[in-house]
């Protein structure tokens, strides 16, 4: 048996043990309020400054269009650094996080998200000055997605 093959065969039990240990650890589930608190990190959010464009009624929760615009000069000293999207009733509330820099030019993002059911969508925008802007939007979902943690 050559040395490379021998090392590979010796690594298999170690990799299996590591995978078994990772699988044995319970998944850390974070609820909506905990996710918001973690992002805010003790800061008080400022209402407004965020425009959320999404339908009030979605026939299918598997793909819901969402566009976000945050009022910002996007200069080197004052710009949006992150936009967080949270869904109140999804199995995993943190839907998306977008990192931005002044080079983006505008604090705008657009995406499609999955929604489990009718719920509130929360958007938090962090700025380089340490401020956090907050806005929310209710959406009615006819056919939900994200069932059983999907």
| Cα atoms in the Cβ-side hemisphere of radius 13 Å centred on 103 | 1
As given in the structure block, the two tokens for residue 98 are 């977008």
Report the chain (150 residues): mean pLDDT per 10 consecutive residues. Answer: 53 44 50 96 96 95 96 96 97 96 96 95 97 97 71
Which one-letter DSSP state was computed for residue 20? H
Return the pLDDT at 22.
40
Name the nearest CA neighbour of 133 among 90, 94, 82, 97. 82
Return the pLDDT at 24.
44
Which residue ranges form the domains of the chain, and what is each CATH number?
30-149 (2.60.40.2470)
Q: Where are the beta strands (DSSP E) in the chain?
A: 46-47, 50-53, 57-60, 64-70, 80-87, 94-99, 108-113, 119-127, 132-143
Compute the distance between CA of residue 48 and CA of residue 55 in angstroms, rounded to an integer: 19
What's the length of the chain?
150
Return the pLDDT at 2.
62
Name the nearest CA neighbour of 119 among 143, 89, 150, 146. 89
Compute the distance between CA of residue 3 and CA of residue 11 in angstroms, rounded to an integer: 12
Which one-letter DSSP state was computed for residue 1? -
Compute the distance between CA of residue 45 and CA of residue 129 in angstroms, rounded to an integer: 13
């Amino acid at each position: 048996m050559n040395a490379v093959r021998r090392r590979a065969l010796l690594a298999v039990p170690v990799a299996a043990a590591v995978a078994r240990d990772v699988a044995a650890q319970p998944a850390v589930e974070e609820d909506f309020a905990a996710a918001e608190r973690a992002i805010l990190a003790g800061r008080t959010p400022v209402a407004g400054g965020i425009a959320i464009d999404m339908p009030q009624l979605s026939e299918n929760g598997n793909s819901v269009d969402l566009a976000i615009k945050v009022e910002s000069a996007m200069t080197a000293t004052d710009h949006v650094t992150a936009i967080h999207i949270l869904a109140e009733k999804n199995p995993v509330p943190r839907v998306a996080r977008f990192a931005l820099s002044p080079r983006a030019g505008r604090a705008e993002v657009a995406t499609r998200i999955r929604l489990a059911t009718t719920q509130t969508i929360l958007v938090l925008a962090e700025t380089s000055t340490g401020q956090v802007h907050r806005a929310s939007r209710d959406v009615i979902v006819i056919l939900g997605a994200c069932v059983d943690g999907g």
